[in-house]
């Protein structure tokens, strides 16, 4: 029997590319995409799609029952910057959607759950360089609090009820298909779009703010590798540290400028600077590398080459 997969939040930045990849692997008809609305029409038209509000337990339950779902990827979330504007909404969406999926899995029909955590679980008291897997986590954003608490609940459901839940602490994810929505690391996507569209970019973080980042292809590969790993190899049921590259706005600017010599940047830090300052600048992901052979492929310049190639095609074609 092929796996039947439900992706909640399939129209988002990561959800949309994850849906495409999972459909390639498992067959389009075995991967049900869902989101609260139909904002990504190509996804809606390219295979099974259901409108699901991730806060609605019955909607998730009915969809799982109707499609015999055995694996759920819960990708819906309010991110760090939006979470600071709407704290109660972030808490409501990020926590209740997780409880709904964990409780359904506890009931036995869902065999495996993927839920993303984030570098936002760390805070100003966390060691900033090479942040270890097990360390101080005192997040200062609502988003970080929801992810930290969610990690505790994932581990609890695994230990107490045997729910096979797996998770990664994503760094900032950079991609050229769907835009990210409301994160602090979004500048590293916007900068490529603005470089192509306008040749200038005003960055909302200061030039020397170093953050952990990753190209989308690596993030999708990590997600699928973790979900396919033998359960007995996995010692972490809260969430795995994961890392690829770390860079500052100045370094990504220089990487783009090497290919676009006229590109200009200016800096105007806003409220997101304080969020970035509370997060690590680099992550120790040796546990993920040992337990499920995680390896990244893209460094900064390889990512820049791919981003500029894809975005030039996109904007110059339209």
Nearest-angstrom CA–CA distance, 218 and 210:
19
Contact between 80 and ligand SER per CB under 6 A: yes
Residues 6+ apart with CB under 8 A from 52: 8, 34, 35, 36, 59, 60, 63
The distance of closest approach from Cβ of residue 150 to ligand SER in the complex, given in angstroms and rounded to an integer, is: 12
Alpha helices in 54-186 (DSSP H): 57-66, 80-85, 87-106, 142-161
From first CA to last CA, the distance across the chain in angstroms is 42
Select from 96, 73, 63 the least CA-distant residue to 223. Answer: 73
Could you say which DSSP state residue 50 is in?
Answer: E
Answer whether 259's CB lies under 8 Å from 304's CB.
yes
* Cβ neighbours for 256, distance < 8 A, ≥ 6 positions apart: 191, 192, 195, 263, 304, 308
Least separation in angstroms between residue 213's CB and ligand SER is 9
Strand partners, 215: 174
Shortest distance (Å) from residue 287 CB to ligand SER: 19
Residue 79 in the binding site for ligand SER (CB under 6 A): yes
Size of the site for ligand SER (CB under 6 A): 11
Nearer to ligand SER (CB atom), residue 183 or residue 249: 183
172 counts as binding ligand SER under rule CB under 6 A: yes
Q: Which two tokens stand for residue 156?
A: 């609890």
Judged by CB under 6 A, the chain residues 262 through 291 that form the site for ligand SER are none
Report the nearest approach of ligand SER to the CB of residue 84 (Å). Answer: 10
Min dist. Cβ of residue 317 to ligand SER (A): 28
Rank residues 164 and 251 by Cβ distance to ligand SER and give the closer one.
251
Report the alpha-carbon distance of residue 142 to residue 139 in Å, rounded. 8
Among 146, 167, 184, 255, binds ligand SER (CB under 6 A): 184
By CB under 6 A, name the one of 139, 183, 212, 280 that touches ligand SER.
Answer: 183
d(CA 124, CA 144): 12
Give the SS3 label for residue 116. coil
Q: Kindly tell me which of 123 and 183 has the beta carbon lying closer to ligand SER.
A: 183
> Of 73, 114, 143, 201, which is the active-site residue?
143
**Which residue number, 83 or 304, has a Cβ lying nearer to ligand SER?**
83
185 binds ligand SER (CB under 6 A): yes
DSSP 3-state of 172: strand
Closer residue to ligand SER in complex, CB, 44/79: 79
* 143 is annotated as an active-site residue: yes
Q: Is 180 exposed, middle or buried (0-12, 13-18, 19+ CB in 10 A)?
A: buried
- Quote the longest CA-to-CA distance of the chain: 58
- Identified binder of ligand SER from the candidate list 120, 244, 252, 287, rule CB under 6 A: 120
Q: Which is nearer to ligand SER, 114 or 263 (CB)?
A: 114
Instruction: Give the residue with the Cβ less far from ligand SER, 18 or 44.
Output: 18
Residue 75: CB minimum distance to ligand SER, A: 12
| Residue 210 CB, nearest approach to ligand SER (Å) | 14
Answer for which of 119, 163, 168, 303 binds ligand SER (CB under 6 A) is: 119
Which residue's CB atom is positioned nearest to ligand SER?
183
- Active-site residue numbers? 143
Q: Give contact residues for ligand SER (rule: CB under 6 A).
A: 79-80, 118-120, 143, 170, 172, 183-185
């Amino acid at each position: 029997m092929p796996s039947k997969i439900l992706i909640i939040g399939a129209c988002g930045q990561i959800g949309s590319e994850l849906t495409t990849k999972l459909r390639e692997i498992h067959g389009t008809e075995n991967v049900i995409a869902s989101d609260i609305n139909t904002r990504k029409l190509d996804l809606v038209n390219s295979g099974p799609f259901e409108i699901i509000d991730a806060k609605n337990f019955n909607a998730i339950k009915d969809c799982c029952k109707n499609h015999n779902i055995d694996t759920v990827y819960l990708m819906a979330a309010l991110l760090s910057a939006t979470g600071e504007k709407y704290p109660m909404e972030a808490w409501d969406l990020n926590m209740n959607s997780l409880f709904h999926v964990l409780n359904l899995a506890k009931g036995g029909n869902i065999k495996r759950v993927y839920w993303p955590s984030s570098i936002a679980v760390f805070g100003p008291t966390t060691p900033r360089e090479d942040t270890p897997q097990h360390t101080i986590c005192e997040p200062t954003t609502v988003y970080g609090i929801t992810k930290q608490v969610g990690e505790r609940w994932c581990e609890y459901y695994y230990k107490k009820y045997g729910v096979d839940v797996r998770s990664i602490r994503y760094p900032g994810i950079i991609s050229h298909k769907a835009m990210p929505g409301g994160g602090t690391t979004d500048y590293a996507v916007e900068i490529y779009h603005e470089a192509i569209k306008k040749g200038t970019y005003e960055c909302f973080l200061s030039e020397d703010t170093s953050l952990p980042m990753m190209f989308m292809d690596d993030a999708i590969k990590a997600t699928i590798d973790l979900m396919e790993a033998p359960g007995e190899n996995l010692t972490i049921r809260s969430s795995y540290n994961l890392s690829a590259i770390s860079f500052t706005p100045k370094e990504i600017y220089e990487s783009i400028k090497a290919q676009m010599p006229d590109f200009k940047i200016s800096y105007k830090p806003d409220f997101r600077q304080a969020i970035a300052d509370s997060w690590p600048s680099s992550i120790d992901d040796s546990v993920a590398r040992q337990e499920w052979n995680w390896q990244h492929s893209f460094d900064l310049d390889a990512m820049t080459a791919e981003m500029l190639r894809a975005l030039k095609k996109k904007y110059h074609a339209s």
